[in-house]
Chains A and B, each alone.
Chain A
Amino acid sequence: MNMIAEIDEKLVCYHCGDECPDESIAVEDKHFCCHGCQTVFEILQDNNLCAYYDLNDNAGVSLKAKNFEGKYSYLDEGDIVAQLLDYQSEELSKVTFYVPAVHCSSCVWLLENFNKIKKGVITSRLNFIKKELSLSYNPANVSLKEIVELLATLGYEPLLNLESTDKPQQKNTTQRSLILKIGVVGFCMGNIMMMSFPEYFHLDLKNSIDANYQKFFLYFNFILSLPVFFYGAYDYLTGAWISIKENFKKTTDVFSVDIPIAVAIITLYGRSVYETFVNNSAGYYDSLAGLVFFLLVGKWMQQITYNYLSFERNYKSYFPLAVKVIRENIESYMNVMELKKGDTIFIHHQELIPADAIISKGKGMIDYSFVTGESDPVSKNVGDVLYAGGRQKGERLELIVQKPVSQSYLTQLWNNEAFTKEKVMPTTELANLFSKYFTVITFTIATVAGIYWVFFEPSLFWNSITAVLMVACPCALTLSMPFTMSTTMAIFGRNKFYVKNQGVIQLLNEVNEIAFDKTGTLTESNSDGQRPARVSFVGSELSEFEQKLVKTLTMQSAHPLSKMIANSLNIKGGKALPIDYFQEFQGEGIEASIAGNLLRLGKSGFVRSAINKEVKHTHSFLEINGLLIGYFVIETVYRKNWQTMLTNLSKNFKLFILSGDNDADKEKLAPYFNENAVYFKQKPQDKLNFINQEQQKGNHILMIGDGLNDAGALRQSNVGIAISEDIKVFSPACDAILDASRFGQLADFLKFSKTSLNIVKASFALSLVYNFIGIGWAVTGKLSPVLAAIFMPLSSISVVLFAVGLTHLFARFRKL
């Protein structure tokens, strides 16, 4: 009973649903967890938009610890604004933002009513799946900076980075044209079937009523079949033609599956036209339209992907859009791509260094973990070189740029040829492999049947040949692949493993080696890209008072290690201890006199009494009143189940570690990896080269990584999987994104991809059975149009149902 009462008493923020620390922040009877949330509520109340809270309880985005002061100053710069806008004129500007915080229907409602909150905004439209907000506004009344700041205040901070200036390409056009084709062919198919009704019911119009009626239906079907053949089937016909030409030129020996399809389509059409105009009897238009319709639907299935995920990101989506620059004594904000050697730039706490530069003022504490995989921040002083990609923690830095962004140490990786050529996706390779034999066998059967009838019943010669070619269409064959694969994709997606396209599932099959990154992949990281660490103390156990002393000491310092140690010491209550003296020695340690005790914490040289013992992990010695107490060890935390997963995988795959970090964890990893399969201190380029070497040996290698330092290896590998705590935030270009919480299931995913390929093969076999039955009828020369119209779609549908059903069944069986 007590429990329930306690829960009821909890104060929950009216805006974001977080727990409120106290009752201090409130408007009327509504409580808020922070002033940010209260501000949003007041803005909404003033604008009569409180329906926001009626749609979903506590719909808001928490605004704790958010500070936008000066963050968007660069949006005052006309040039930078112009790069962001989609359209610009004196009265109207259009802009599209990516807003990662969008999560519920309230968000849609509020953002689409944005024009009610901000004067000057004309229209506001949100694409929920893509989280894209399209705004149009009058630049005379409102500036882009005001809009962005208000959005950020409301909790919908748009993501602005270097990539935002790349205008989105029109990729909707291919999808639209496919949908159009499906619609048009579907229309023709339905109407052809309607016009074929007399035929279906064996109404012998020709003899019983009037030949004119029959001709009317025939010609109508002919007209309706024109768009099917010339528009709907266009891609298959040209695809086949190109493949034939390439085969003649000997540039390839792959027989595209388009060829047997095109043969069937052309025979169906040719025979139908012949029947219509020469024999005045029904053609196979309905079979033709059905065939093309199913093929197009299969094609549409094939290109389905997760369009709210980005698989193509490069360093640009990690880099800031603009930076404050002094060039020739003029201070301004500039797009980082325009930086030149000699420019002075300013970097604040938590900001990213956009170009290789030298420190001219300030002390750097740079976190390179995302770029190099090194887990500890590096301290840098005036005159030191900083490489692009590091994140400053601490005070403001003044830097002098040494190289333009595109030529920096990090971004050079993207000049590698692995990034310039597209990965080959074997979407139809299996079907193509099949199609050569298929075509040859079909033609052989057709010829044999033809020769047979020449001798026994010459009138059936053409009938039997064309019937064989028509019925032996590998339609079911080409459909089973996209349907099985897209079902597999959906099952993977349900398990938070998002593959880029269907080809990736096939590539997963061929994998025989797996390379892991260590930092952030095997070890944990959180969605801010920071790595949580376990702090432990080695030495005599600390008393409560000593713990309190250390906590007081470490609270004084802004050094990341001090913060980690302070957080790890969990002492409650008590009076704060008086600090008589405190000093921080940069790069050495900290010293303080607290409540009459002299404490020193730092490196072994700094803490003089420290033994010269080699500790591989990051560590810090502690000395109280001249006596060495012990040392703190900061270890990275490995993911849950990482050991079982590696043991499972090592049965079937050769495993490697490619880490940018030092070899502190070597012993920990030793049981799961071969001695010569663990590589430390790997630069991004080294990783890429290693993958390339393995591929030269004929291996198919899967790379799993999380950071920019893995980008090259992910791209070069056969399958690159990016692991991510939050799939909506940055992950480098890859073939698949795996949610970190499902890391342990990797082996299951690999296994299931094999299963689904086997299902495809089984449905190939089934469709072959259908083909044999069909050909059995066809060789006798008695394939009537009605029989074809029933048999052909039926075989396709049953193969698709078989493939999809089996995939679901296996997924349930494997508990995926």
Chain B
Amino acid sequence: MSIIFFLAIAAIIVAGGFLIAFIWATKDGQYDDTYTPSVRMLFDNPVKSPESKIKKDE
């Protein structure tokens, strides 16, 4: 039964990790703009700059 101590503490530590991630994200400003990222993720590949395109053509 004493495994319950270990399990409970492990569960809290895992959850605590997520809590820290949440605090980090908030302080980083992830919740300041909740709309634009939803649009941003729909764009496909990063655009190649014109220079690299020219190089390719050569």
Contact = CB atoms under 8 A, between A and B. Distances in A.
A95 to B, nearest CB: 18
A175 B1 CA distance: 44
A126 B38 CA distance: 12
A184 B15 CA distance: 11
Interface in B11-51: 11-12, 15-16, 18-19, 22-23, 26-27, 29, 31-33, 35-36, 39-40, 42-44, 47-50
A793 B21 CA distance: 27
A784 interface: no
Interface in A197-224: 209-210, 213, 216-217, 220
Given A113-B47, A172-B32, A176-B27, A105 B15 contact: no
B53 interface: yes
Given A109-B43, A210-B1, A216-B5, A183 B19 contact: yes
Given A48-B53, A128-B35, A180 B42 contact: no
A187 interface: yes
Interface string A100-127: 0000010011001100100000000011
Given A105-B42, A213-B1, A180 B26 contact: yes
B47 A49 contact: yes
Given A176-B27, A195-B8, A47 B1 contact: no
Given A105-B42, A180-B23, A190-B15, A130 B33 contact: yes
Interface residues of B, number: 30
A108 B1 contact: no
B46 to A, nearest CB: 9
Contacts of A187: 15-16, 18-19, 22
A194 B11 contact: yes
Contact of B12 (A126, A176, A191): A191
Contacts of A47: 49-50
Contact of A126 (B8, B23, B36, B44): B36
B15 A183 contact: no
A112, A126, A175, A179 pick with most chain B CB within 10 angstroms: A179
A727 to B, nearest CB: 17
A190 B22 CA distance: 15
Given A48-B50, A49-B47, A191 B36 contact: no
Nearest to B33: A127
A51 interface: yes
Given A49-B47, A183-B22, A213 B4 contact: yes
B50 A179 contact: no
Nearest to A217: B8
Nearest to A210: B1
Contact of A179 (B26, B39, B43): B26
A220 B47 contact: no
A130 B32 CA distance: 10
Contacts of B4: 213
B36 A51 contact: no
A92 interface: no
B36 A128 contact: yes
A116 B49 CA distance: 6
A441 interface: no
Contacts of B49: 47-48, 116
Contacts of B32: 127, 172, 175-176
Nearest to A129: B35
A263 to B, nearest CB: 29
13 contacts: A48-B47, A48-B48, A51-B43, A105-B39, A128-B36, A129-B35, A175-B31, A183-B26, A187-B16, A187-B19, A191-B12, A195-B8, A209-B1
Given A51-B47, A184-B19, A209-B1, 10 more contacts: A46-B50, A127-B33, A128-B39, A172-B29, A183-B23, A187-B22, A190-B15, A191-B12, A191-B15, A194-B11
What are the 8 A-B residue pairs with the smallest beta carbon separation, nearest first? A128-B36, A105-B39, A127-B33, A187-B19, A129-B35, A183-B22, A108-B39, A128-B35
